């Protein structure tokens, strides 16, 4: 799907030959004198179009436009959230096998956030998962034009910069969705490693590399916590190391660590059977790192980035780790495993220790880590944990620009009290209270040698119910964050 940004008013948009034209109308829009402008003005006057964003108004082969289908929809004040909601509702009226070329026209000048929101909404609304379907109905849209009257964002930044960033972000989100949506038997650790290798190969650049470590290499490194989680499955673990070198070799890299549990049964501390199928989404952190690297292949910013993905299944057999077992992490810290369903932190702690060798400028881990974070923040904001104010602010700012919001959570030292163990250096759980915070406190023990942040995406990485599927979050935040740290051209 190709995107194209143009500076056009409604009169010009009406002349676009396309399968559907979506017109986004804000409060108080000043319409021109073209027939389409007149139609918008009359619809508002008659009360058939509510610019506050109620119901879209649609027409088929209207005489005012060359598009087969026309949809007018209000965007109220024109914020990114309002634009995204409006486009999603309008897309529901025009989706069909014949929809190949789409034009989205703003009736008034639009800022970058609104343009980006429109693109993401079109991509999200038209996304189709096909990998395991025998007769898939693939996405039909091949070309999307975004147009608005000349605006400050076009004049200052240029259409090309905006277009490249949003296209790369969408491509990254869709790769993340693809792998997160695949059933566990189609997204094993081995297949995930192959996806990483294929991504690097497709990039066709020596700036990108991929190394995959297997069980023997991981054992040699002393990753006892990671190995403990994997030992209950016949699928071999994989530790994926992605590298992008876009800056000088001496420049300290930013490291992204993604939790890659390709299926999580909970182990001996087994999960309830209801909705256990959704535990294929427990590798959404890993998928988001892959998605971010996909965006890097298109943007090639001047920065060095490392992606670390510890990947395995958390299953049950005669060799599976048991509650009460004590294992030794790569850092040499012993861990009492009180709950085998708190496995994400076990694979992440060894990956965080591995990150030390890169002498990173910052490390951000991304994980569907705790149900407690879902209780705390729901599906709106991801949880952000960091003891570093500067790093936390950078991630918060990136999330706002990306329209992929996060919320900073506390890390008071008192929260670590519950992690104390009589039989090891630390326990892997600390009871029910503040579960997302105590999980972050566990990870923090392995981050003393670098600036670190943790994103808990358990509530935002996928949707349940009729719209079940991965969201592609937090790829937008990670792309913005990484690019904000790149050197100036």
Name the residue with tokens 């960033």: 165
pLDDT the model gives residue 154: 54
Task: Return the pLDDT at 137.
Answer: 84
pLDDT in tens, 408-452: 999 999 999 999 999 999 999 998 999 999 999 999 999 999 999
User: Exactly one of 139, 194, 197, 271 is catalytic; which is it?
Assistant: 271
Among the listed residues 101, 243, 345, 381, the single catalytic one is 345
- What is the reported pTM? 0.95
Residues belonging to the chain:
489
Please, are residues 188 and 295 in contact by the beta-carbon 8 Å criterion? no
Q: Would you call 271 a catalytic residue per the annotation?
A: yes
With tokens 């009406």, the residue in question is: 14
Domains 2-156 and 172-484 share a fold: no
Q: What are the residue ranges spanned by the domains of the chain?
A: 2-156, 172-484
Residue 392 half-sphere exposure, CB side, CA atoms within 13 Å?
13
Q: Give the domain 172-484 fold.
A: Aminopeptidase (3.40.630)
Mean pLDDT per segment of 10 residues, for the chain of length 489 residues? 90 95 92 90 93 88 93 95 95 92 94 93 96 91 91 56 91 98 98 98 97 98 98 98 97 98 98 96 98 98 98 98 98 98 98 98 98 98 98 98 97 98 98 96 98 98 96 98 82
pLDDT of the residue at 167: 94
What is the gyration radius of the CA atoms in the chain, in angstroms? 24
Show the tokens assigned to 46: 């008659």
pLDDT at 488: 52
| 345 annotated active-site | yes
Other Cβ atoms closer than 10 A to 489: 5
Architecture of domain 2-156: 3-Layer(aba) Sandwich (3.40)
Nearest to 172 by CA among 366, 431, 316: 366
């Amino acid at each position: 799907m190709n995107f194209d940004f143009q500076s056009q008013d409604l009169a010009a948009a009406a002349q676009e030959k396309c399968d559907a034209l979506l017109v986004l109308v804000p409060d108080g829009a000043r319409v021109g004198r073209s027939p389409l402008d007149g139609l918008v003005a009359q619809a508002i006057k008659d009360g058939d179009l509510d610019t506050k964003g109620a119901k879209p108004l649609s027409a088929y082969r209207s005489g005012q436009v060359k598009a087969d289908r026309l949809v007018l929809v209000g965007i109220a004040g024109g914020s990114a959230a309002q634009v995204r909601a409006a486009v999603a509702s309008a897309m529901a009226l025009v989706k069909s096998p014949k929809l190949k070329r789409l034009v989205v026209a703003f009736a008034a000048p639009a800022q970058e956030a609104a343009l980006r929101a429109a693109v993401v909404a079109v991509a999200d609304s038209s996304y189709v998962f096909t990998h395991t379907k025998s007769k898939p109905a693939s996405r039909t849209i091949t070309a999307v034009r975004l147009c608005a009257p000349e605006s400050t964002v076009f004049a200052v930044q240029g259409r090309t910069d905006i277009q490249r960033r949003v296209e790369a972000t969408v491509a990254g989100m869709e790769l993340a969705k693809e792998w997160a949506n695949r059933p566990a038997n189609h997204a094993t650790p081995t297949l995930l490693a192959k996806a990483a290798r294929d991504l690097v190969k497709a990039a066709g650049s020596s700036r990108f590399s991929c190394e995959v470590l297997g069980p023997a290499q991981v054992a040699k490194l002393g990753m006892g916590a990671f190995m403990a989680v994997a030992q209950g499955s016949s699928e071999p673990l994989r530790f994926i190391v992605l590298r992008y070198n876009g800056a000088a070799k001496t420049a300290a890299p930013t490291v992204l660590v993604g939790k890659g549990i390709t299926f999580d049964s909970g182990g001996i501390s087994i999960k309830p059977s209801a909705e256990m199928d959704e535990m294929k989404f427990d590798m959404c952190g890993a998928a988001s790192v892959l998605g971010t690297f996909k965006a890097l292949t298109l943007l090639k910013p001047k920065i060095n980035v490392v992606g670390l993905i510890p990947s395995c299944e958390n299953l049950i057999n005669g060799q599976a780790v048991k509650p009460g077992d004590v294992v030794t992490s790569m850092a040499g810290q012993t861990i009492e495993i009180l709950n085998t369903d708190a496995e994400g932190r076990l694979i992440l702690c060894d990956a965080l220790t591995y990150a030390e060798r890169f002498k990173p400028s910052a490390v951000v881990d991304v994980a569907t880590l705790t149900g407690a974070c879902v209780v705390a923040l729901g599906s709106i904001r991801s949880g952000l944990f960091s003891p570093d104010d500067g790093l936390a602010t950078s991630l918060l700012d990136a999330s706002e620009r990306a329209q992929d919001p996060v919320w900073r959570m506390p890390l008071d030292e008192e929260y670590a009290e519950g992690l104390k163990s009589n039989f090891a250096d630390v326990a892997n759980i600390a009871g029910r209270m503040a579960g997302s915070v105590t999980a972050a406190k566990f990870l923090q023990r392995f981050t003393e040698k670098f600036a670190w942040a943790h994103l808990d995406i358990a509530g935002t990485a996928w949707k349940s119910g009729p719209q079940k599927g991965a969201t592609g979050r937090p790829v937008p935040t990670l792309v913005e964050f990484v690019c904000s740290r790149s050197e100036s051209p």
